[in-house]
Chains A and B, each alone.
Chain A
Amino acid sequence: MVPELGHFAIILALSFALMQFLAPIGGYYKKENLYFQLSYIAVIGQFSFLWFAMLCLITCFMNNDMSVSYVQEHSHQLLPLLYRIGAAWGGHEGSLLLWCLILSTWTLAFLAFRRFVPPAPLSLQRGVITVLGFISAGFILFLFATSDPFRRVFPTAPINGDDLTPILQDPGLIFHPPMLYMGYVGFAIGFAFAICALISGKLDREWARAARPWVVMPWGFLSCGIVLGSWWAYRELGWGGWWFWDPVENASLLPWLSATAFIHALMVSEKRNTFKGWTLLLAIVTFALSLLGTFLVRSGILVSVHTFASDPTRGLFLLSYLALIIGGAFTLYSFRIKHFYQAPTFALFSRETFLLINSVVLLSAVVTILIGTLYPIILDSLNLEKISVGEPYFNTVFLPMMLPLLLLMGFAPHVSWGEQSIAKLWQKLRLNLILSLLLGLSLPKLLGFHFHWLACIGISCALWIVLATGQYVYQLKKSHQLVGLQHWSMIVAHLGIAVMALGITVTKSYSEERQVRMNLNETVTVANYQFTLKQLNETQGENFKSITATFLVQKAHQSPLALLAEQRIYTSHEQSLSKPGILANLYRDLYLALGSSLPDGGWSVRIYYKPFVRWIWAGGFMLLLGGFLSLLSSIRLRGKK
Chain B
Amino acid sequence: MKIRFLLPLIFFILIGLLLWRGLSLHPNEIPSPLIGKASPTFSLPTLLGTKATITEKDLKGHVTLLNVWATWCYACALEHEYLMELASHKDFKLFGFNYKDDNIAARHWLKEHGNPYEIIAVDVTGTTAIDWGVYGTPETFLIDKNSIIRYKQIGPITQEVWEKTLRPLVEKLENEA
Contact = CB atoms under 8 A, between A and B. Distances in A.
Interface residues of B, number: 23
Contact of A377 (B2, B16, B18, B29): B18
A381 B22 contact: yes
A323 interface: yes
A322 interface: yes
Contacts of A327: 9, 12-13, 16
A91 interface: no
Nearest to B26: A380
Interface in A272-288: 281, 284-285, 288
B31 A334 contact: no
Nearest to B19: A319
A331 interface: yes
B18 to A, nearest CB: 6
A316 interface: yes
A326 B11 CA distance: 12
B104 interface: no
B21 interface: yes
A376 interface: yes
B18 A374 contact: yes
B8 A323 contact: no
A377 B22 contact: yes
A330 interface: yes
Q: Is the interface of B mostly helix, strand, loop or mixed?
A: helix
A284 B8 CA distance: 10
Interface string B1-33: 110011011001101101111111101111100
Nearest to A327: B12
A301 interface: yes
A333 to B, nearest CB: 6
A168 B26 CA distance: 26
Contacts of B25: 301, 377, 380-381
Nearest to A284: B8
A302 B27 contact: yes
B9 A333 contact: yes
A327 B6 CA distance: 11
Contacts of B13: 327
B12 A299 contact: no
Nearest to A288: B12
B8 A315 contact: no
A44 to B, nearest CB: 34
A385 interface: yes
A548 B121 CA distance: 42
Contacts, number: 71
Interface in A202-233: none
A334 B16 contact: no
B31 A316 contact: no
A326 B12 CA distance: 8
Contacts of B9: 327, 330-331, 333-334
Q: Name, among B1, B5, B23, the residue most crowded by chain A CB atoms within 10 Å (CB to CB).
A: B23
A303 interface: yes
A338 interface: yes
Contact of A378 (B8, B16, B18, B28): B18
A295 interface: yes
Interface string A289-321: 000100100010111000000001001100100
Contacts of A295: 19
Interface in A601-627: none
Contacts of B29: 386
Contacts of B20: 319
A71 B159 CA distance: 34
B52 to A, nearest CB: 30
Nearest to A314: B23
Contact of B16 (A303, A323, A335): A323
A68 interface: no
A457 interface: no
Contacts of A322: 16
Contact of A315 (B15, B16, B23, B28): B23
21 contacts: A303-B27, A303-B28, A312-B24, A319-B16, A319-B19, A327-B16, A333-B5, A333-B8, A333-B9, A335-B1, A337-B5, A338-B5, A376-B27, A377-B18, A378-B18, A380-B22, A380-B25, A381-B18, A381-B22, A381-B25, A386-B27
The 3 closest A-B pairs by CB, nearest first: A330-B9, A381-B21, A377-B22
